[in-house]
Amino acid sequence: MASLADSVPETPAAASSSRPLPWTSILWFTVLIIATYFPILRHLVWQWSYDEDVGHGFFVPVVAGYVAWQRREELLALHRQPAGWAGWS
Protein backbone atom coordinates (compact mmCIF):
# COMPACT_ATOMS: atom_id res chain seq x y z
CA MET A 1 0.00 0.00 0.00
CA ALA A 2 1.47 3.35 -1.06
CA SER A 3 1.46 6.19 1.37
CA LEU A 4 1.16 9.92 0.80
CA ALA A 5 4.85 10.31 1.60
CA ASP A 6 5.76 8.14 -1.39
CA SER A 7 4.07 10.56 -3.80
CA VAL A 8 5.81 13.68 -2.46
CA PRO A 9 8.84 14.52 -4.60
CA GLU A 10 12.12 14.79 -2.76
CA THR A 11 13.55 18.28 -2.57
CA PRO A 12 17.06 19.15 -1.51
CA ALA A 13 17.40 20.54 1.98
CA ALA A 14 17.46 24.32 2.23
CA ALA A 15 20.68 24.18 4.23
CA SER A 16 22.53 22.44 1.39
CA SER A 17 21.97 25.42 -0.91
CA SER A 18 23.68 27.87 1.43
CA ARG A 19 27.41 27.91 1.90
CA PRO A 20 28.79 27.20 5.37
CA LEU A 21 30.52 30.08 7.10
CA PRO A 22 34.32 29.81 7.27
CA TRP A 23 34.50 30.31 11.05
CA THR A 24 38.28 29.83 11.23
CA SER A 25 38.86 32.58 8.68
CA ILE A 26 36.38 34.87 10.39
CA LEU A 27 38.09 34.33 13.75
CA TRP A 28 41.58 35.02 12.35
CA PHE A 29 40.36 38.11 10.52
CA THR A 30 38.72 39.41 13.71
CA VAL A 31 41.87 38.80 15.77
CA LEU A 32 44.05 40.55 13.18
CA ILE A 33 41.71 43.55 12.96
CA ILE A 34 41.61 43.92 16.75
CA ALA A 35 45.40 43.57 17.01
CA THR A 36 45.96 46.11 14.24
CA TYR A 37 43.51 48.69 15.56
CA PHE A 38 44.03 48.08 19.29
CA PRO A 39 45.55 51.52 20.04
CA ILE A 40 42.66 53.25 18.26
CA LEU A 41 40.04 51.00 19.86
CA ARG A 42 41.54 51.61 23.31
CA HIS A 43 41.31 55.38 22.75
CA LEU A 44 37.71 55.06 21.46
CA VAL A 45 36.63 53.07 24.52
CA TRP A 46 38.27 55.63 26.80
CA GLN A 47 36.54 58.50 24.96
CA TRP A 48 33.17 56.73 24.96
CA SER A 49 33.53 56.17 28.71
CA TYR A 50 34.38 59.76 29.65
CA ASP A 51 32.86 62.00 26.95
CA GLU A 52 29.07 62.36 27.28
CA ASP A 53 28.74 63.50 23.66
CA VAL A 54 29.88 60.14 22.25
CA GLY A 55 28.74 57.75 24.97
CA HIS A 56 26.42 56.06 22.51
CA GLY A 57 29.49 54.65 20.75
CA PHE A 58 29.21 51.44 22.78
CA PHE A 59 25.88 50.70 21.09
CA VAL A 60 27.05 51.20 17.49
CA PRO A 61 28.75 47.76 17.12
CA VAL A 62 25.75 46.08 18.76
CA VAL A 63 23.26 47.75 16.40
CA ALA A 64 25.48 47.05 13.37
CA GLY A 65 25.72 43.39 14.40
CA TYR A 66 21.94 43.21 14.78
CA VAL A 67 21.39 44.69 11.31
CA ALA A 68 23.92 42.28 9.78
CA TRP A 69 22.23 39.36 11.58
CA GLN A 70 18.81 40.41 10.27
CA ARG A 71 20.18 40.54 6.71
CA ARG A 72 22.39 37.44 7.01
CA GLU A 73 20.53 35.41 4.34
CA GLU A 74 20.83 38.27 1.85
CA LEU A 75 24.50 38.79 2.71
CA LEU A 76 25.33 35.08 2.44
CA ALA A 77 23.59 34.91 -0.94
CA LEU A 78 25.84 37.59 -2.43
CA HIS A 79 28.24 36.41 -5.09
CA ARG A 80 31.79 36.93 -3.80
CA GLN A 81 34.41 38.00 -6.31
CA PRO A 82 37.57 40.13 -6.26
CA ALA A 83 37.23 43.83 -6.97
CA GLY A 84 38.06 44.75 -10.55
CA TRP A 85 39.92 47.92 -9.57
CA ALA A 86 42.47 45.86 -7.64
CA GLY A 87 44.11 44.72 -10.88
CA TRP A 88 43.61 41.02 -10.14
CA SER A 89 41.92 38.79 -12.63
Number of structural domains in the chain: 1
Rounded to whole angstroms, the Cα distance separating 23 from 17 reads: 18
- Measured in degrees and rounded to the nearest 5, phi and psi for residue 18 equal -95, 150
Q: Which domain holds residue 52?
A: 24-77
What is the predicted pLDDT for the residue at 50? 95
Check residue 89 and report its DSSP letter: -
Provide the strand spans (E) within 23-65. none
Whether the per-residue pLDDT at 12 is higher than 60: the answer is no
d(CA 67, CA 52): 25
> What pLDDT digit, counting tens, does each position of 26-81 carry?
899 999 999 999 999 999 999 999 999 999 999 999 999 999 999 999 988 888 87
The per-residue pLDDT for 47 is 95
Q: Which residue has the higher pLDDT, 1 or 28?
A: 28
